[in-house]
């Protein structure tokens, strides 16, 4: 991860820790199903390293199948072009031309018949090979209009594109509101906004049952439960 000529870059969140937790949850659910069928439990061994390697996904598969160490492409895609972020006049947008039909629609949308006719860009494998020629042309083009103008135009022509949001814009976006992804709960310090669970269950939708606790708020409650359990042994 990072620019081709720059240093390696970390991702913005603790993705290894989060991934290991998600995979551990899946492993627990699988073990419970096995226990229901066999009556036997089992030990779950989940390491951060294992989780990290499993998330290499297509990048890892490319190495294992082809024997070539993947390079860095910044915001680009190693196997699809154009599939990356571009700077507009007032910000950044992401363009995701996933196949040759979308490429033709893209060229019509931006009124660049010259790109559609250019044999260097006629198919995705050719666009990958000629990435260094195509991307500067698109960078120059995208710089001439705003993010909103480009996204509206491309979506009108069924070309996948979207703005690169800051965290605040993402959380306050129309889509976040429509999906109910930000919830407000009562808290001694005043109303507290939280990110809701992304699990969309129609019969048993997740709910926020308790607010985040104050420091030490539940110590007595937890200790009572522990002592009660020990006395019951």
Would you please indicate which residues are annotated as catalytic (active-site) residues? Answer: 17
Distance separating the N- and C-terminal Cα atoms of the chain: 53
C-alpha 225/C-alpha 104 separation (Å) is 65
Q: Is 200 exposed, middle or buried (0-12, 13-18, 19+ CB in 10 A)?
A: exposed
The 8-class DSSP code of residue 189 comes to T
d(C-alpha 62, C-alpha 79), whole Å: 10
| Residue in 14, 183, 164, 165 with CA at minimum distance from that of residue 93 | 164
- Rounded distance between C-alpha atoms, residue 203 and residue 84, angstroms: 38
d(C-alpha 229, C-alpha 233), whole Å = 7
With b meaning 16 or more CB within 10 Å and e meaning fewer, what string describes 157-190? eebebebbbeeeeeeeeeebeeeebeeeeeeeee
């Amino acid at each position: 991860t990072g620019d081709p000529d720059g240093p390696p870059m970390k991702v913005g969140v603790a993705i290894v820790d989060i991934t290991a937790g998600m995979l551990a949850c899946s492993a627990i659910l699988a073990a419970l199903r096995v226990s229901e069928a066999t009556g036997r439990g089992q030990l779950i061994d989940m390491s951060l390293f294992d989780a990290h390697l499993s998330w290499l996904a297509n990048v890892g598969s490319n190495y294992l199948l082809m024997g070539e160490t993947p390079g860095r492409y910044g915001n680009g895609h190693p196997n699809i072009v154009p599939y990356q972020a571009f700077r507009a006049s007032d910000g950044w947008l992401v363009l995701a031309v996933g196949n040759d039909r979308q490429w033709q629609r893209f060229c019509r949308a931006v009124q660049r018949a010259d790109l559609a006719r250019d044999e260097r860009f006629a198919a995705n494998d050719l666009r990958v090979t000629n990435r260094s020629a195509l991307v500067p042309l698109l960078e120059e083009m995208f710089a001439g209009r705003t993010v909103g103008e480009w996204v509206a135009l491309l979506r009108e022509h069924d070309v996948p594109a979207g703005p690169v949001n800051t965290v605040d814009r993402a959380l306050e976006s129309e889509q976040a509101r429509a999906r109910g992804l930000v919830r407000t709960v009562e808290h001694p310090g005043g109303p507290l906004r939280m990110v809701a669970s992304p699990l969309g269950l129609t019969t048993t939708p997740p709910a926020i049952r308790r607010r985040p606790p104050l420091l030490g708020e539940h110590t007595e409650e937890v200790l009572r439960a522990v002592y009660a359990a020990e006395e019951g042994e």
